[in-house]
Amino acid sequence: MNPLTSILGTIISGFVLAILIVLGLGATGINAIEFEVWFHVLAGVLWIGLLYYLNFVQVPAVGAALADKDGPGPAAINKYIAPRALLWFRWGALATWITGAGALQNLGEGGFIAAFTLQEGWKIIGIGAWLGTIMLFNVWVLIWPNQKKILGIVEASADQIAGAKKVALMASRTNTLLSIPMLMCMTGHMHGLPF
């Protein structure tokens, strides 16, 4: 059986390969903080990858589908693709934040508090953590509730849908904007930027 014929098989195979590489390099295992950071990065790739997909691909495609009078319209995207993308998007966001919070705590004594209070040596990652927290808020409080109206998951009037489109788009674009300095802060801390 080819594991690449299913997404679950592909993911499991990826984890198995990663473990084999670690063992092949002579490591006896991955400690808790390394695993947490690794999972944080994986979840973050999922979250930000979907954020970029939604902003750079799906939103323009739905706009083009709406403008194409002879085309199929946006129904296929809104009915089949968007709900699935948003499912992985919002849970990826939560997994990223939770694993990031745990990793902060495990980076040093009181690391979570030190980062969120922007203490010396924790400022850059703390700013990244605050940006990620704002982005998580936007996903769960602004984007997802409004997307449910747009996609017809919850009932809404035409005016409510029009308002929901604006709020969801602006929150999503805000997250895209914030993702750039957030990623710089996260990688900056791991690579020793001095602030």
Same domain, 6 and 59: no
Same domain, 70 and 1: no
**Is residue 89 in some structural domain?**
yes
Query: Exposed/middle/buried for 36, CB within 10 Å: 0-12, 13-18, 19+?
Result: buried
Report residue 39 as tokens. 């999972």
The model's pLDDT over 22-61, given as tens digits with 9 standing for 90+, comes to 788 877 666 766 778 888 999 999 999 999 999 999 999 8
pLDDT score of 32? 65
pTM summary value: 0.87
**Listed residue (38, 51, 22) closest to 169, CA to CA:** 51
**Is residue 21 in some structural domain?**
yes
Number of domains in the chain: 2
Same domain, 112 and 42: yes
Q: 177: domain range?
A: 32-190
Q: Which of residues 175 and 18 earns the better pLDDT score?
A: 175
The model's pLDDT over 133-191, given as tens digits with 9 standing for 90+, comes to 999 999 999 999 999 999 999 999 999 999 999 999 999 999 999 999 999 998 887 76
- Read off φ and ψ for residue 25, nearest 5 degrees: -85, 0
**Terminal Cα-to-Cα distance of the chain (whole angstroms):** 51
Same domain, 9 and 71: no
Q: What share of the chain is helix, strand, coil (3-state, %, to 5)?
A: 80, 0, 20
Same domain, 40 and 18: no
